[in-house]
């Protein structure tokens, strides 16, 4: 049975160009010596890989003894052979990474006196050095979903009463809408929110809850008559 190969265009569309191959060279016809500086396939040089397929009677596509990286990579991928930069290039990349890391360490060493001063200042304020980002994240907790009735306060006066199953989030949403400088809350079960909120609105009559039309009462889920004689349902 004749062996079938996936076309180079199909393989490149499927896998794309390797990052270490320059875009302008990927489809360019080049000689073996230059190809050796770009590609290593299955542990051998590009020229050795080309020679291997010539000996098998299945030469890689060429033009006047010139080859394209795209064709060599396509053949390698069809055979699940590993394509990577030559060993020399890998060593160069490793050296470049080490040099970059050295530069980072050198910069960190240069900034160390400033960091020491910052830790000293933090210690004078909180009796402990500055926490690292990892320490802060480790010690953090999710914002609790507090359920209850909350009170927005301005200049020692309760100006608004509301309810929420997530008080922290709800109060934060009021920041751009209402004028207040702090808040307080009374926790309660979700089933009792309407009743408790109504009690506080009628009792405190906060100005931002507004007046009902034609009535002296304030906006509340339940009216005063509805609250009279109210009995909590058992759970």
DSSP class per residue in the chain? -PPP---HHHHHHHH---TTS-TTTTT--B-HHHHHTT-EETTEEHHHHHHHHHHTT-PPP-BTTBB-HHHHHHHHHHTT--EE--HHHHHHHHHHHHHHHHHHHHHHHHHHHHHHHHHHHHHHHHSSPPPPHHHHHHH--PPP---EEEEEEETTEEEEEEEESSHHHHHHHHTTTS--SEEEEEE--GGGHHHHHHHHHHHH--GGG-BPTTSSSB--SS-HHHHTT--PPP-
55-106 pLDDT tens trace = 999 999 999 999 999 999 889 888 889 888 887 666 677 777 878 887 777 6
The proportion of the chain whose per-residue pLDDT surpasses 90, expressed as a percent, equals: 30
pLDDT of residue 28: 92
More confident residue, 67 or 15: 67
Q: Name which of 101-115, 138-152, 174-188 the model is least confident about.
A: 101-115
């Amino acid at each position: 049975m004749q062996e079938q190969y996936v076309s180079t265009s199909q393989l490149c569309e499927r896998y794309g160009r390797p990052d270490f191959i320059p875009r302008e060279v990927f489809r360019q016809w080049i000689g073996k010596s230059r190809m050796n500086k770009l590609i290593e396939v299955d542990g051998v040089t590009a020229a050795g890989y080309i020679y291997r397929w010539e000996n098998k009677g299945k030469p890689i596509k060429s033009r006047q003894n010139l080859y394209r990286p795209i064709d060599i990579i396509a053949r390698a991928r069809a055979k699940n052979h590993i394509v990577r930069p030559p060993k020399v290039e890998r060593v160069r990349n490793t050296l470049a990474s080490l040099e970059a890391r050295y530069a980072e360490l050198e910069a960190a060493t240069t900034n160390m006196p400033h960091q020491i001063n910052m830790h000293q200042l933090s210690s004078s304020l909180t009796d402990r050095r500055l926490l690292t980002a990892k320490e802060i994240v480790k010690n953090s907790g999710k914002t609790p979903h507090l359920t209850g009735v909350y009170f927005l306060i301005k200049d020692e006066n309760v100006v608004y009463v509301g309810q929420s199953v997530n008080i922290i989030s709800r109060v934060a949403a009021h920041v751009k809408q209402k004028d207040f400088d702090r808040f307080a809350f009374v926790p309660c079960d979700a089933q009792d929110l309407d009743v408790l909120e109504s009690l506080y609105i009628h009792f405190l009559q906060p100005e931002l809850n507004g007046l009902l039309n034609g009535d002296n009462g304030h906006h509340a889920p339940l009216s005063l008559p509805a609250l009279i004689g109210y009995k909590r349902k058992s759970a």
